[in-house]
Copies of this chain bind each other. A is one copy, B any other.
Amino acid sequence: VEIVLGPHEYGKAETRLVRVDRDGDRHELHDLTVSVALRGDLAAAHLTGDNSAILPTDSQKNTIYAFAGRYGVGRMEPFGLRLARHFVDSQPTISAARVHLVEHPWTRLGPHSFAGAGQENRTAVVTYDGVRATVVAGLTGLVLLNSTDSEFTGFIEDPYTTLAPTTDRILATAVTARWRLGEVPDWSDADWADSYQGVRAALVDGFVQTYSLSLQQTLYAMGERVLSRHPEVVELRLSLPNRHHLPVDLTPFGDDNRGEVFVATDRPYGLIEGTVARPEAAEPGLAWW
């Protein structure tokens, strides 16, 4: 039987890094989970167990900590790019690297005191192939809810349709968004923060300010605002689970439910996924690896 080794990669996943920047008594906190994936000349490892092309995943982890100490962390994207470039540039056997970063947010309570700021995380994926670098910024766990101004009518009614059209429902979702930058900007930390906060605000505005006829429409409205406001973004991918809130029938108990009492369900859920992009956006290369 003839067999070929197809696409393959490896790396250290979910390295937990906390970096404290100490400027006297005033501290800054960076709390990241970093995952590395490498591609390259790895066939011998698979076929014969020859590891001479393998940089151990343990060394990758060490590099994350060493770079965090030596260069600091700052914004995730430049930190990830430094790592990706290092693995490719320092190892002849490694042809491409992806660094996936998640930033866990904290809010300041004092000069060196912080409170965890919840389940909404900022994300970044940077890639480098020896020539070109790409950056995809993002966020997960942004939970949004409109308690009115949401309809769902005019849909197909097939023999399996029992859903009643509604002109007033709760619309809720937990946003996962990833946006590709057209090229890697030469930004300060403040620029990176501004761009992120701006995109996040555009997503929130798109959700809040849209009178929704469907979650699909809301998705597009969110994406449209991001691309309109942020020229640095050339493509945006959104994954929006529809967190259903079903009105409870109170008539058995002699009451009406005027859009006031809902069951928040876990499963199943609708899942709406879509992309908005500039027509002239350059090829993504490894951006979506």
Contacts and interface: CB of A to CB of B under 8 A. Distances in A.
The A contact surface, by secondary structure, is mixed
Contacts of A55: 155-156, 158, 161
B217 A159 contact: no
A65 interface: yes
Interface residues of A, number: 140
B272 A156 contact: no
A197 interface: no
A56 B163 contact: yes
A255 B70 contact: yes
Contact of A3 (B4, B31, B266, B278): B278
Contact of A112 (B90, B112, B147): B147
A136 interface: no
A49 B277 contact: no
A10 interface: yes
Interface in A12-63: 12-22, 25, 27, 29, 31, 33, 35, 37, 42, 45-63
15 contacts: A6-B237, A18-B263, A33-B267, A42-B216, A56-B152, A56-B163, A62-B162, A62-B252, A62-B253, A69-B250, A106-B145, A109-B204, A115-B204, A159-B253, A160-B252
